[in-house]
């Protein structure tokens, strides 16, 4: 089974090896392409060392949703057949080869997902004190229910909107009856979350002027409260 995975990346040296390991286990023969926005850390070196293809693209050192949207909607078009997975580094789709074979047999061309905001409790910036695969605390996050996997030969365009939270695909559209889980591996610990949110806030001044990416913050107390509130209201996922 042909599976091509495209992952957007900027300074993801901590999460990158975990994400690649996760998808290699799910799809041993998959081809992974990292679309790197000129990371200033060693994300590119890590990706190459793990056998990924790496494509570099620039957005003048800001997080520009227009540029990201272009790549989400076009980077996979050279692939002519098989399943496409188009994701951010912190998005773990809970599917494997058996699921894709089943959906292929059902005539499915686009998978539906239910977004889960996963909650890790690491106290380290590098997440070295936790096993990300064992995290089972979550809250449902409907906005993360992205159509992040589709069958290339049936899809002409995905027409993802900013963030890929919605899309207007073109082609033979048959959606999966099942909603698979999409784990958003973003809040893996308080220190990690504070660092991730504040760093992204710095790169999003332009997008905030366009009323986009306003969820990023440099208010540490606000970030802390939101994280703690999520933990207080979380559920446990049955792996």
pLDDT 10s digits, 123-176: 999 999 999 999 999 999 999 999 999 999 999 999 999 888 999 999 999 999
pLDDT in tens, 69-98: 999 999 999 999 999 999 999 999 999 999
Joined together, the tokens standing for residue 179 give: 């909603």
Q: Is residue 169 part of a domain?
A: yes
Quote the mean pLDDT of the chain: 95
Q: Is residue 202 part of a domain?
A: no
The Cα–Cα gap between 97 and 39 comes to 31
pLDDT in tens, 165-206: 999 999 999 999 999 999 999 999 999 999 998 988 777 777
Q: Does residue 106 register a pLDDT over 70?
A: yes
Report the domain count for the chain: 1
Q: 3-class SS at 185?
A: strand
Q: In 3D, which of 76, 50, 54 has the Cα closest to residue 9?
A: 54
In this prediction, residue 28 has a pLDDT band, given cuts at 50, 70 and 90, of very high
Q: Is residue 93 part of a domain?
A: yes
Question: Which domain covers residue 156, as residue numbers?
Answer: 3-121+139-188
Count Cβ neighbours within 10 Å for each residue of 145-171 and write b for 16 or more, e otherwise: bbbbbbbbebbeebebeebbeebebeb
Q: Is residue 94 part of a domain?
A: yes
Q: Is residue 224 part of a domain?
A: no
214 phi, psi to nearest 5 deg: -80, -5
The C-alpha angle with vertex 58 and arms to 212 and 118, in degrees rounded to 5, equals 50
Q: Is residue 232 part of a domain?
A: no
Q: Can you give the pLDDT at residue 239?
A: 67
Q: Is residue 215 part of a domain?
A: no
- Composition of the chain by helix, strand, coil, percent to 5: 35, 30, 35
The sign of the CA dihedral 88, 93, 98, 101 is: negative
Q: Does residue 214 register a pLDDT over 70?
A: no
Q: Can you give the pLDDT at residue 207?
A: 64
Contact criterion met (CB below 8 Å) for 170 and 156: yes
Q: Which residue has the tokens 């040296």?
A: 13
> Count H helices, E strands: the chain?
7, 12
Looking at residue 44, which CATH number applies to its domain? 3.90.550.10
Percent of the chain clearing pLDDT 90 (strictly above): 85
Q: Does residue 209 register a pLDDT over 90?
A: no
Q: Can you give the pLDDT at residue 212?
A: 67
Q: Is residue 50 part of a domain?
A: yes
Contact criterion met (CB below 8 Å) for 15 and 39: no
For residues 12-29, average pLDDT: 99
Helices 190-202 and 220-232 meet at what angle, rounded to 10? Answer: 140
**Full-model pTM:** 0.95
Cα torsion 120, 121, 126, 132 to 10°: value is -40
């Amino acid at each position: 089974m042909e599976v091509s995975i495209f992952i957007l990346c900027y300074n993801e040296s901590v999460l990158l090896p975990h994400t690649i390991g996760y998808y290699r286990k799910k799809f041993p023969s998959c081809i992974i392409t990292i679309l790197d926005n000129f990371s200033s850390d060693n994300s590119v070196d890590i990706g190459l060392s793990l056998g990924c293809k790496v494509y570099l693209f620039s957005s003048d050192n800001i997080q520009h949703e227009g540029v990201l949207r272009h790549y989400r909607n076009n980077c996979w078009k050279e692939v002519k057949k098989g399943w496409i997975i188009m994701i951010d580094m912190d998005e773990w789709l809970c599917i494997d080869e058996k699921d894709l074979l089943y959906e292929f047999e059902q005539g499915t061309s686009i998978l539906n997902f239910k977004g889960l905001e996963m909650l890790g409790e690491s106290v380290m910036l590098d997440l070295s004190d936790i096993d990300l695969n064992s995290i089972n605390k979550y809250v449902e996050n409907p906005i993360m229910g992205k159509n992040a996997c589709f069958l290339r030969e049936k899809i002409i365009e995905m027409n993802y909107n900013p963030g890929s939270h919605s899309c207007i695909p073109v082609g033979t559209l048959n959606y999966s009856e099942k909603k698979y889980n999409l784990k958003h591996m973003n809040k893996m610990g308080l220190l990690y979350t504070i660092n991730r949110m504040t760093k992204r806030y710095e790169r999003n001044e332009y997008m905030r002027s366009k009323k986009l990416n306003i969820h990023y913050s440099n208010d540490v107390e606000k970030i802390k409260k939101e994280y703690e509130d999520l933990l207080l209201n979380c559920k446990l996922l049955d792996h």
